[in-house]
Amino acid sequence: MNETERVELSNLLFPNLKHDREYYENMYPERDLPEGAMVTRYGPSPTGLVHLGNLLSAFADMSYAKQTKGSFYLRIEDTDQKRMVEGGIENIVGVLNDFEIMPTEGYTFGGNYGPYRQSERTEIYQTYIKDLIIKGLAYPCFMTEEEIAAIKEEQEINKTKIGIYGVYATDRDLSLEEIKEKISNGEEYVIRLKSPGNLEKQVEIKDCIKGKLKFPEHNVDTILLKKDGTPTYHFAHAIDDHLMHTTHVIRGDEWVSSLPLHIQLFQVLGFKPVKYAHIAPITIKDKETGNIRKISKRKDPWFSVKYYDENGIPIKALHLYLATITNTNFEEWYLKNTDKDINNFEFSFDKQAIGGTSFDEAKLENLCKTYFSRKSGKEVYEETLTWAKKHNEEYAKQLEENKDDMIKFLSIEKDGPRPRKDISKYSDVEEEFSYAIDSKFEKENFSKYDGEKTYDTELVLNYIENYLDLDSNNEEWFNKVREFAIENGYAGSPKEYKKDPENFKGHVGDICEAIRVMITGRTKSPDLLSILKILGKDKISKRVKLYKNYINN
Ligand code: GLU
């Protein structure tokens, strides 16, 4: 076919396009961004639930763009209409909002490079295809599914590469007349790339995370436009990332094997190549087999993003965890820099584990504890209340009714170099601070402590009722308890007691623990004197009464 014929063919295939390629090139000019700014995108297909791996790549997109004062946009990749699920798009947008991984532009976020939904870009894709047809770089292919299946079977028997290429690509050389005839016969067609690749030659690609990769050139006449006129993922990727001026494609490494095709598409289309960063999937050590495997929807509750919300893992703490998966040096940095937040950390592709990272529940929990320890009591109160309003209404009401005291309790042992690390999620607060709310304490079942230790009830009640001094400081307070303990046959320290257990009824720590159990209903709590001071004399007497009732019944 000569050029005149190709122009005729292009008009025959696409008679109604309003614009040419130049029009779109001018419509989406280079972005005006500072030197080194990264333009990243999250390109989900709305085919099901959003999982931790999706959040991870969106988080990396956001972090790199933010750090370089670039742009992070959301593009809905809905070219495969058959695999779409209802509500899938709303769900994606909702998850990004809920998890505070906010694009700076894109679908529902606005911007100058839209539409940001691939199903609304058909005309753009077709315009570029038309241009490829004119240049002789793509062609209509009328092969039926049966014909393609037969070729595949033959290739399998011959153990040669599967696909339409070389001698198998018979429609490459159809004449204009033949094509016209097939179209007038109503034969359906796709548009294929006329691949210029040669399997004998190698392409070398530098992946930002994986480093140098070497592949044979792509030589298959891959489908670019489907029978219904919509693009395949590969073609849409090239067009969109070019026109939207993406600088870095950060995506799951299931796409690595498509790289030779993608590199070729950018070349054939005459586009400046983008940089790629392929993230390995999150793995996990299987509890039963001990083997490392991909994190799974069926086996691992952490897979679905719902888990984090329902269990009350703070979003910002989850960000810390995503940052540790993104960069292996993040955790150490964060624990060392007690006064800095994630925005001060410099993410870098070469600090990303090439083989992926294993999900580590203990690490997540530890980061969450650190996160809470750095929050003021008031902040913990407010965040917990917000979470409880959604997941535990009754507790939310109690929190509101006890706001002032609750904040005081949550503020105990917050100052100093080692703030308390007792909560790792909002859902822990109710149990850890059960003593803070009277109505909860009233339901306290002291019998759960009975087996653990026998408390000298009379003695301790006598102390609380007659000697408790709420005006003293910690040291004075403890000295007084110790004096009382010694006078009553207890050792003044656990060490002394251990040396000669026969000689003592116990040690001062046992008395403190008994006070703690009677007043808080717990064997562990933040600083006891602080709790006693917040409760005050009246509440303490009420609690003593409750405890007496318990023993007398
Ligand atoms: N739509 C693709 C997916 O959901 C995105 C791949 C990409 O980021 O290029 O897997």
Q: How does pLDDT run across 140-169, given as a tens digit for each residue?
A: 999 999 999 999 999 999 999 999 999 999
Q: What is the pLDDT of residue 548?
A: 87
47 Cα nearest atom in ligand 1: 4
Contacts of 326 (CB under 8 A, 6+ apart): 56, 59, 60, 63, 347, 352
| Whether the CB of 246 sits within 6 Å of ligand 1 | no
Structure tokens at 548: 């007496």
| Whether the CB of 77 sits within 6 Å of ligand 1 | yes
CA distance 327 to 484: 55
Residues 460 and 521 in one domain: yes
Residues 230 and 133 in one domain: yes
Q: Tell how far the Cα of 278 is from the centroid of ligand 1, in angstroms.
A: 11
Q: Tell how far the Cα of 249 is from the centroid of ligand 1, in angstroms.
A: 10
254 Cα nearest atom in ligand 1: 10
Q: Whose CA is nearest to atom 5 of ligand 1?
A: 43
The CA-atom distances, in angstroms, between 82 and each of 57, 79, 86, 232, 323 are 24, 9, 11, 13, 34
Q: Which of 120, 143, 161 is the last residue of a domain?
A: 120
| Whether the CB of 88 sits within 6 Å of ligand 1 | no
Instruction: Yes or no: say if 314 and 424 are a contact pair by the CB < 8 Å rule.
Output: no
Residues 146 and 218 in one domain: yes
What's the total number of domains in the chain? Answer: 5
Helices 474-487 & 457-467 angle (0-180, nearest 10)? 130
Q: Tell how far the Cα of 251 is from the centroid of ligand 1, in angstroms.
A: 7
Domain of residue 49 covers 31-120
| Whether the CB of 251 sits within 6 Å of ligand 1 | yes
Residues 268 and 159 in one domain: yes
SS3 for 458? helix
Q: Tokens 């257990």, residue?
A: 501
Q: Tokens 């005081």, residue?
A: 408
77 Cα nearest atom in ligand 1: 1
Burial class from Cβ neighbours inside 10 Å (0-12, 13-18, 19+) for residue 17 reads: middle
Query: Is 439 contained in some domain?
Result: no
SS3 for 252? strand
What secondary structure, in 3-state letters, does 331-364 show?
A: HHHHHHCCCCCHHHCCCCHHHCCCCCCECCHHHH
Structure tokens at 308: 């984090």
pTM to 2 decimal places: 0.91
Per-residue pLDDT of 257-300, as tens digits, reads 999 999 999 999 999 999 999 999 999 999 899 999 999 888 98
Structure tokens at 437: 């709310």
Q: Tokens 């029009």, residue?
A: 23
22-39 burial: b if 16+ Cβ within 10 Å, else e = eebeeebeeeebeeebbb
CA distance 349 to 292: 23
| Ranges in the chain, pLDDT < 70 | 451-452
The CATH number given to whatever domain includes residue 513 is: 1.10.10
The CATH number given to whatever domain includes residue 105 is: 3.40.50.620
Q: Which of 324, 358, 373 is the last residue of a domain?
A: 373
Query: Is 103 contained in some domain?
Result: yes
Residues 410 and 454 in one domain: no
Q: Tell how far the Cα of 360 is from the centroid of ligand 1, in angstroms.
A: 25
CA distance 131 to 148: 26
Q: Which residues pair with 193 in a beta bridge?
A: 138
Query: Is 440 contained in some domain?
Result: no
| Whether the CB of 237 sits within 6 Å of ligand 1 | yes
Instruction: Yes or no: say if 219 and 198 are a contact pair by the CB < 8 Å rule.
Output: yes
54 Cα nearest atom in ligand 1: 4
Residues 75 and 11 in one domain: no
233 Cα nearest atom in ligand 1: 1
Q: Tell how far the Cα of 234 is from the centroid of ligand 1, in angstroms.
A: 10
Q: Tell how far the Cα of 437 is from the centroid of ligand 1, in angstroms.
A: 49
Number of C-beta neighbours around residue 271 at 10 A: 15
237 Cα nearest atom in ligand 1: 9
| Whether the CB of 78 sits within 6 Å of ligand 1 | no
| Whether the CB of 57 sits within 6 Å of ligand 1 | no
Query: Is 98 contained in some domain?
Result: yes
CA distance 164 to 197: 13
CA distance 112 to 280: 32
| Whether the CB of 419 sits within 6 Å of ligand 1 | no
Length of the chain: 553
- Amino acid (1-letter code) at residue 326: T
Q: What is the pLDDT of residue 452?
A: 66
| Whether the CB of 43 sits within 6 Å of ligand 1 | yes
Q: Tell how far the Cα of 186 is from the centroid of ligand 1, in angstroms.
A: 34
Residues 321 and 259 in one domain: no
Residues 350 and 252 in one domain: no
Strands 105-106 and 211-216: unpaired
| Whether the CB of 262 sits within 6 Å of ligand 1 | no
Q: Sheet holding 138-141: strands in order across?
A: 138-141, 190-193, 223-225
Among 42, 77, 81, 275, the mutation site with the greatest number of ligand 1 atoms within 8 A of its Cβ is 77
Could you tell me where the beta strands, DSSP code E, fall in 181-265?
A: 190-193, 202-207, 211-216, 223-225, 248-252
Q: Tell how far the Cα of 395 is from the centroid of ligand 1, in angstroms.
A: 41
CA distance 553 to 549: 6
